[in-house]
Every structure is written in C-alpha cells, then in structure tokens.
Structure 1
C-alpha cells in the first residue's frame, strides 16, 4: 500500500514539472521515501525529477513501455517508497494512450496542476471539466502562479468538493529552457538551491495529503527466466555518454545488462577513443549541435569510430548520435562543422520542430517501440532500409538507415519493448 498521484494539466506549459519537482523535494525533506515516474517518452524532465527526489526516474507509457512493465515498475516502487508521484505528459487527455488512461488503468488519483496566474474562480470550471470529461478520480489541485492568500482563497472556493492541495507563487527565477526542453540539471550551478526554494514556496495542505487514499495495484504477471544464455553474454557495448550524448533511457541500459552485455562508457567530447575491446557501439541522442565545434576537433574519437566501422563493429546511432556521424552538422548559428562521416549527408538545425511522437520500427523480431523528437533535418542520398510507423496513425515515420555495420535513425528506441530486436541490432556485425 502506498500513496500515489498523477500530476496532470490541461496542456503543456502549466507548470507540471515545476510542481512535481517541488512536491518531490518537499516530501523528501519531510522524511518521505519518494519515487517519481514520468508519463510518456522524455529524457530531460526525468533528470530534474531524479535530482529533486534523489531516486532514479523511469518512464510509464501504456504503449511504449507496455502495461506489464509499467505495473512491475509501479509495484517495485510501492515496495520501496512511501509516495509515488507520476508527472503526466501534455494535457491530461492528450495522446493515445493518454495520462488519464494510465491513471485509470492503475487506479491512481489525479492531481491537477493549473496555471492560476490569469484566473480566479474559473479555476473550478477548468478542474471540474478535467475530472468529469474522462472521468478520472481527482485528488486535488496544485495552483501555480498564485499572487496572494486572497487569490488562493478564490481559487479554493471555486473548486467546491475538490481540495486545493497546494499553491506555488510566480517564480522570480524559473527553470531555464532551450529548444528540446529544460536545460540539464548539471548545467545549472544552483539547481539544488532552486529546488529547495520551490519546496519552501509550495504551500502544502498536510490535512489534504493525509486524506489521500493508498492505491492497490493489480497483481503483475511473474517473469519467467530463460533457460538459454542471454544473447549478448560476453559482449562489451561501448556507449557514448557526455554533455553531447545523454538522452538514454535508464531502462535501455538495464535491458542491455539483462541481455548479458557489459557496458563501457566513453566521451567523444573529451576526444576519447571508442574502447578497443568493444563488440558493439551505442551512440544515443543528445545535443551534438551545442558542441559541434569540439566534436569536429575530436580527432581521436573520429578516427576510432571510423576504424570500428571499417572493422564491421555494430554501431547503433539514435538522433544526436546519428547527427554526429553525418558528413557535416550545421548548428543553430549557421556554422557548418565536419563530423565523423560514416553516414553520407548533411544535418542542419531547423527553427521549428521537425519530428515528434511515438513510433515503432518493424523488425524480424517484431515491433521495436519508441519515439522521435528533433529540430534538425538530414539531407542524404542513402536510401532508407526501413521506416518507422507512427502511433496511432500508422503512417510512415522516420527513415532507418544502414551503411555497413551502422544502423542510424532519428528514432529513439525503448529497448525493453522488444529485447530480442535490441539484441539483434547490437549483434549485426558486417565483414
């Protein structure tokens, strides 16, 4: 038995991440064991929420992650924590499946986060609409950008039978953002001070919290151990990890280990060569466009990845990882930098979003699920080996390229959705 809420809103931009981080930090400081999840595909918000809660943050998504893995993750958190917080994605009912679908599936009450900065009594109409449209069980409200105690009373009175759980004032200093979302916590020098300030400013109704019911999760299916050796047993996978390559699901690393692989991390930004004993290489997404000049000057890194490619070592490159392997990368200022040149073509940053949404890659082992989110475009004469399929529209998604032992795409794969397909990707040696 554990208390749990899903923090959701009418749309993006209402302050869900701020409210979730503030609540997580406040509960931790009150001595609670807190586990936080992020609904939907996301790399950046979980980093901030992990910093706020002091515990790893995993993804929950009924399509990409799947019901059974969502349930197992929730059950594990329930066994380890006093409180589970789930940050929703976009608006409460946006997406297929939506945050509301997740809440109903596991019996988690919803905590509505509203931006009350330009409203008062209309807050009640908004929150009641959020509750009744689904419907969902509405546990309470966190009102963001509240100007005064009088403003808070007007909001509270409009909610009728729904408690005003907490308020946050307008922030003098907000969490900094860039084109893909929040700036990474490690890049904000005073991030812990900022999180503590948010926790201090969260006016918290202890009585309303105490009235929250515990949730009861349905039983999860038992995992069965395979009698055969894991398919990547004895293999070492070299993984790029630094400020240019950090968009990687923790569950992806866990899956590679469960498949038997040993993981070895290296930094292209520090001009580190690919580890010599690597049997495969994984280049996740990130921000190569912010570090293009340094990457272009990283001679050891470039020479080692080219040598691995010539030797037929399997290389899996996702989004930013693919960008760093093109011939050139044009940054947001228009400067063009030479990259590693394994994938013939030129990448250029765009002012507008170029790709977003859940997608699946058809493979011989079944569909490998994941998502895409990028602001750049690749111009190449290489013919795609396959395309992802957008969910739920089923129309053509991202191109999937193969050049020798390299497989590359803007598609970010969620490895636990199909471990067999994942193992095949990292075993595809070309001689």
Structure 2
C-alpha cells in the first residue's frame, strides 16, 4: 500500500464558460514559474483542454472520472502523481454539480477541496452569494474562490469583502487576448503560434493570495498501484505488434491513457500524418485513427493520395483498423464540411458524413461485447461528442449504450477488419477488448 500526499484542488465553477481552463492554465503556469512541480488532471472525457493544460504545466494530462475511469484507477493516478508533484490541479467539467457523477462527486470521493472560478465581469458582491451557494448546496469543502475577468484592483477588493468566511484566493484581470475557440471547444495549442506567450501573460496577470494558498492543507492518497495491473496487460497480447497512429491537426483527440494502455499491452507505437500525405508505415500491424478535426482539413486529406492509397491497401490486406469519430469520417465515401463543400474520402465505409450546426450527440457511452468462444463479457467505456451525421446504408454490427439510461447509443460498423464508430473509447476501461480491436480476426 502506497501513501502519498500533495496540495490538491478541484478547479470548478457554476457553469461552463466561467473560465475554468484559462484559470487552471494560468494558475499552473504561475506555480511552475514559482518553482513548483505541477500535475493537472481533467474531470470527465475531454481531449482539447488537456492539451492546453499540458502546455501550461509541462506534463501529460490524464482524465479522472468515477464512471469512465473508475474510482480505483482514478485514485491510483492521483497517488502516483502525488509522489512527485507539489501541486495537483483537477479541472472540473461543466458546473460543479452538473452530471452524474459530477465534479463535486469526484472531489468528495477523494477528499479534495474545491476552488471555484467565478466570472465577476458583471457583478461584484453577488460573487459572495454564488460562492456560498456552491459550498452549501452539496455541500463541498470550498477552499476559496478565484474571481475571473475582474476590471480593477478595486473591483477585486469589493468581491473579497463579500466573501464572508470564504477566502478569495486570487483574481484574474479581463484578458485582451484569450484562448480561441471553435465548435468542439478550444483551438488546438499547436495552432496558436504564441500559446506560451499567452500562458505566461495570464500567469503574470493572476493575482494569487500566497498566504491563503500556502494555508491549504495537503490531501493524502492510499493506493496499491500494483494491484491495478490487469492480468491481460501482464500477458501482453499485443507484444511484437506495431500500431500506426494518425496524429496531426486532423487527428489529435488522443487520451494519453490510451497510448499508455497500448504500450502496457506490449504494442510499439509509431505515428504518421495523413494531412502531410504520409502513408501508413509499412511495418504497421494495425492502424488507429483517432478523432479530431478532419472537417477543417478535408481538402488536404482529399489531395493526400499517398495516405488514401495506403489506407485502402491496408484495408484490402486485412490490417486491423480501429477508427473513432473523426477517424471514421475519413473512411467514408465523402465528407461535407461546414461550408457545404463535399470532399472525397477513402471510401472504405459506404455513405457520407455531413457537418451540421446543431450538436448530434454528447455524453458517456459503453460498448459491451461477448466473445464467441467464451462467456466472457467485455465492456469499453467512453463518450461521444460530434456535430456531424453519417448517412449510410451499412448495417451496424453493434451499438454502444448511453450511460444516462442504457438506451441505444452510437452505431458500430465493421467491414472486414475495419471497425468504426462515433464512439470514443477509453482503452484502460477494458484492455482485453482493446487488444481484440488491434488483432486480425
């Protein structure tokens, strides 16, 4: 049994749009500049915010979630991080009490205090009322508040005076230059040329009450990390296999935990860029096409003939292919983007993908499957989040189910050894099922 401790806070808010990611990134970069070792986790399924937060702290950002990741695995990751980190920040999802499980549930499960980020741009003393409500509704251990988008030091002082017994841990001035967004969230950090300058500026503009911050207690974690190593990982069913992974601006939605899981299963990972017209490496035994923004790079993908030829050859040769969301989109006959332009894709899945203005699906989902040879049941957990629809005559071979009510979720399609879906899988939730995805039938 390993016991470790660190200063840990859950950074949450009353709702999305309050500035959780901006504040978490600014706080992390400020603490790093003060010489602290900082680790960040993201509550719930997310790909883009963790990339920004990784740039802010310098370490990969893993997901924590009582349903998708599980209590034991989440605790083990926190315990592992606490062995080397001075500070652990957990960015919450949506509002503090939104979702099931919520950020509040996660904080209470591990005894982590909450740091509330509240947008003070259109209020002053009322911030205190919001803070009291956030604390008492659950309740949660509210460590303090960071007032975001304050107009001046005087404005921050008015907020502080209204906080009663809740500390104002800091304030962040309104930003002239903010992190840009698009339809699925923030823009990828590699697309912002001055991302580190922006992060440094935000850190410098974050006024932190160091006395109040230093007074926050440490949180301890007990975890038997070795007991969490699954027997299937010990067996390493992907030993000797090389998995090619598309990774560029069009295919960027990768959980660090997924990559680590594949390596734990014995696989060697190699990366290539379809939008740079790179073919699938010839030594690949399997292909992983993650999600991303193919709709923003449809023209480049259409013109990438080497990439298109290589994926068609690989499919014809029976190479196992797992494609999720954006990865599935590029395997269809065509993709119609937000500007109503249609671009030819790889043509492995008959039908076309059409971008639309309204959200098509959002939420946690689980894909269960029983093997033909045994009575073992496998279940991959994950989520879905997309603005497109897939018009096809293909019949799904399976469906995921929705976390909320068990209703039918995303369709899963199979043509040969190619499997594809809008479903984003969290690989560590069932490594054995993941191994089967990357082995030829």
Q: TM-score range by the shorter chain?
A: over 0.9
Q: Which runs of 5+ in 2 are unaligned?
A: 371-376
Does 1:358 find its partner at 2:358?
no
Identify the residue that residue 407 of structure 2 maps to in structure 1.
395
From 59, 65, 76, the equivalent of 1:61 is 65
**3-state SS of paired residue (2:428):** helix
Q: Give CA deviations for 1:200-229 in whole Å, capped at 9, x if unaligned.
A: 110110000111001112334642574963
Identify the residue that residue 277 of structure 2 maps to in structure 1.
271
The change in CA–CA distance for 1:225 and 1:291 in structure 2 (over 3 A counts) is closer
Quick one: distance in 2 between partners of 1:410 and 1:217?
35
Q: How does 1:8-407 map to 2 (within 5 A)?
A: 8-220=12-224, 222-223=226-227, 226=231, 229-364=235-370, 365-407=377-419
Identify the residue that residue 7 of structure 2 maps to in structure 1.
3
Task: Give the number of equivalent residue pairs.
Answer: 429
Quick one: distance in 1 between partners of 2:82 and 2:154?
38
Q: Which runs of 5+ in 1 are unaligned?
A: none
**3-state SS of paired residue (1:264):** strand
Quick one: distance in 2 between partners of 1:302 and 1:221?
42
Q: Give CA deviations for 1:300-333 in whole Å, capped at 9, x if unaligned.
A: 1111111111111110000000000000001111
Contact 1:71 1:220 in 2 (8 A): no
Contact 1:68 1:221 in 2 (8 A): no
**TM-score, with length taken from structure 2:** 0.96
Shift, 1:56, TM fit: 1.1
Shift, 1:428, TM fit: 3.5
Q: Give CA deviations for 1:159-195 in whole Å, capped at 9, x if unaligned.
A: 1000000001111111100111101111111111110
Quick one: distance in 2 between partners of 1:225 and 1:425?
17
Does 1:426 find its partner at 2:432?
no
Quick one: distance in 2 between partners of 1:242 and 1:174?
23
CA RMSD of aligned residues (A): 1.2
